[in-house]
Structure formats: C-alpha cells, structure tokens
Amino acid sequence: MILPDVTHAIGGTPLVELARVTAALGLEGRILAKLDYLMPGFSKKDRAAKAIVEAARADGSLAPGQTVVELTSGNMGTGLAIVCGVLGHPFVAVMSAGNSVERARMMRALGAEVVLVPQAPGSLPGQVSGVDLALVEVAAQRITAERGAFRADQFRHPGNPASHLTGTGPELWEQSGGAVTAFCDFAGSGGTLGGTARFLVPKGVRCYAVEPDGAEAISGGRTDHPDHPIQGGGYMMDDLAHLAGVSLAGFLTVSGEAARDHARMLARVEGIFGGFSSGANLCAAVQLLQGAERGGCVAIVICDSGLKYLSTDLWPA
C-alpha cells in the first residue's frame, strides 16, 4: 500500500511482548510494549500532533498557511514539525534549553523554527523543572500573540487525548486480543494516559499514572525533588486537564536512576531503543507485576527513541 503522505504512517504501531525482560527478572505475568517510537517523529506525540492540527483545520481555528506555535520538550514539536510541514503551516517550537540538543536539531531539520528559552537560575541541563516550563509557557504565549498564530496547546486541546481514545486504546485492545489487564504511562501532558484510560477502563483494565520520585504532584505525594532527568513530564502540575474525570487505579513513582536502568535493559535485553520515559514505563510495569498486578498483563508505551538522548548520560560514550 502506498500512503499519500507521511502523516498517514502515524498510528498502528506494533505491540511486542517483553518476554525476555519478564524471564530475566523472574516476573509472574506479561508486559506488552507499544512501539510508538517507530512513528515518523520517533515518538508517541505524533498521534496528538496530527489530531490537534487536523481538528483545528476542520473547525476553522487554524487557517490555511497560518503559523502554529507550541511549547515542547521536543517530541510534540517534532510531530508538529512533520504535520505542519506536510500541510503547509510554518511551525515555531518553543523549548527549554535544558532539553537534549538532538530534539532541537531534529525539529530544525524538519523545517521548524526553534526558540530555546534559558532555564531558571539553579536548574541543571537535562533536568527541566516546572519552573523552567513556566518560562517556556510565557515565551510561547508571547510568540503566539506577536505572530497571530494558532497555539496547539497540547496540555488543553481535546485532540490530544482523543488521538489515544480512538488510536492507542483500541489498538492495544485489538492487538492483545483483549488480554490487557493493566496499563501505565508516564504523565507529561496526560493525553496518552487520559485518552487510553477512557477506552480501556470500561473494559475492566486498571490504569495507573507514573510520576518521577519526588515530583509527585498528580498523586499528591512528595514534591521535594522537582528536578529529574525524565524529560517530557513530571513538571509538578496537579491540574492536568486531560486526566480530569479519568478513573485511575493508582499511582507509581520511578526515580531517574531506575528509569535509566530500565531503558538500558530494554535496549540490551529486548533490542528496543527507547528513552527515559520508556524506561520509566517499564520500571512501573515491573512494579505492578511484583505487586498489585502480579500474574496479569500490563501494557506500556515506548514513548520515544533513544536516539533523542545520545548527548545525555542515558547512553554511556
């Protein structure tokens, strides 16, 4: 089948059983990994980017040729760069300078204008906090107003969770033959978790939010360690609109070190080259099979590619 353009390659990603990981760790149960890092922008955010832009074009809030602006840790920006490039919209990605350099380079290669916002005093490169994100938000609002642009607004636009309600959730259920008993996801904008849970919970699947250890604003836990290396989430935001009204079975915390270790295990044991959040998701799934979901079938998403972290300490030189 020949696709009309690359945006039609978004979605329908493979589901792989991580049998080698469960055997190596002596786990009772199954872990299924949705390989969203294989999409054109190398991340799950391609789904939301396509859905938001298509919805905005359909309802008239995005005019032909109008500029699109969005704050991003890099993944949403990559997806938007691809979709906007294909559909004829200039795109401006507004990103913290603390995110890995590969992300900015990839967006620029795809035709995006990238505006890097300096981190707050005391912030560390590679560890983007909620304070850093607030600075990016201010810049994104200013640029949107100055250019009369459309703000993609991944934290609030309903197209984000809708892409997972109609895509990720049904794909997981169909590809697993209804075998999934639990789903967990590292919460960034909350779109993947919120949309997928809205599809899976009515089918009896228990869904869990994953947060960085010490930056547990969603669950109301510890918030004494806002800086962490798991880029793209854990921004100390307890008001994620996409999780409003979603019935969650619980919350899991993962340290940066544990996320790093499990991402390396994914690569070494399963040949799956994911990033920090993918490692966090695997670590959370392992926790579930060691506890509340022992003997069950836990689904996770491989959120993005390890290629986006070659300049970080995730991959030793």
Last residue of a domain, one of 151, 169, 190: 151
Residue 314 lies in a domain: no
Residue 145 CA to residue 126 CA, distance in Å, equals 29
pTM: 0.94
Residue 315 lies in a domain: no
Residues 49 and 26 in one domain: no
Q: What percent of the chain has pLDDT over 70?
A: 99
Residues 185 and 147 in one domain: no
Residues 145 and 17 in one domain: no
Residue 141 lies in a domain: yes
Residue 249 lies in a domain: yes
- From residue 188, alpha-carbon distances to 102, 233, 241 in Å are 19, 4, 11
Pairing state of beta strands 91-96 and 113-117?
A: parallel
Residues 215 and 106 in one domain: no
Is 36:114 a contact under the CB 8 Å cutoff? no
pLDDT for the residue 32:
99
Sign of CA dihedral 161, 166, 168, 169: positive
> Residue 249: is its pLDDT beyond 90?
yes
> Residue 237: is its pLDDT beyond 70?
no
Residues 183 and 261 in one domain: yes
Average pLDDT over residues 193-217: 96
pLDDT for the residue 236:
65
What the block records as the tokens of 237 is 């935001």
Residue 205, domain extent: 6-39+158-309
Average pLDDT over residues 229-246: 83
> Residue 4: is its pLDDT beyond 90?
yes
What's the CATH code of the domain at 109?
Answer: 3.40.50.1100
pLDDT for the residue 317:
73
Residues 12 and 52 in one domain: no
pLDDT for the residue 238:
63
Residues 297 and 262 in one domain: yes
Residue 62 lies in a domain: yes
Q: How many domains does the chain have?
A: 2
Is 275:303 a contact under the CB 8 Å cutoff? yes
Residues 17 and 163 in one domain: yes
Residues 73 and 204 in one domain: no
Burial of residue 220 (CB within 10 Å: 0-12, 13-18, 19+) is exposed
What the block records as the tokens of 172 is 């997981």
Mean pLDDT, the chain, whole residue set: 95
| HEC-encoded secondary structure of 35-60 | CHHHCCCCECHHHHHHHHHHHHHHHC
> Residue 93: is its pLDDT beyond 90?
yes
Pairing state of beta strands 91-96 and 68-71?
A: parallel
Last residue of a domain, one of 151, 170, 203: 151
Residues 170 and 138 in one domain: no
Residue 119 CA to residue 129 CA, distance in Å, equals 9
- Residues 107-142: pLDDT tens digits? 999 999 999 999 999 888 877 877 888 999 999 999
Residue 20 lies in a domain: yes
- Residues 21-56: pLDDT tens digits? 999 999 999 999 999 999 999 999 999 999 999 999
- Residues 159-203: pLDDT tens digits? 999 999 999 999 999 999 999 999 999 999 999 999 999 999 999
> Residue 261: is its pLDDT beyond 90?
yes
Last residue of a domain, one of 129, 151, 173: 151
If pLDDT is split at 50, 70 and 90, which confidence band does 263 have? very high
For residues 235 and 13, the model is more confident at: 13
> Residue 228: is its pLDDT beyond 90?
no
Residue 317 lies in a domain: no
pLDDT for the residue 245:
95
pLDDT for the residue 45:
97
205-214, 232-241, 269-278, 297-306: the lowest-pLDDT one? 232-241
Residues 277 and 137 in one domain: no
pLDDT for the residue 88:
98
Residues 168 and 196 in one domain: yes
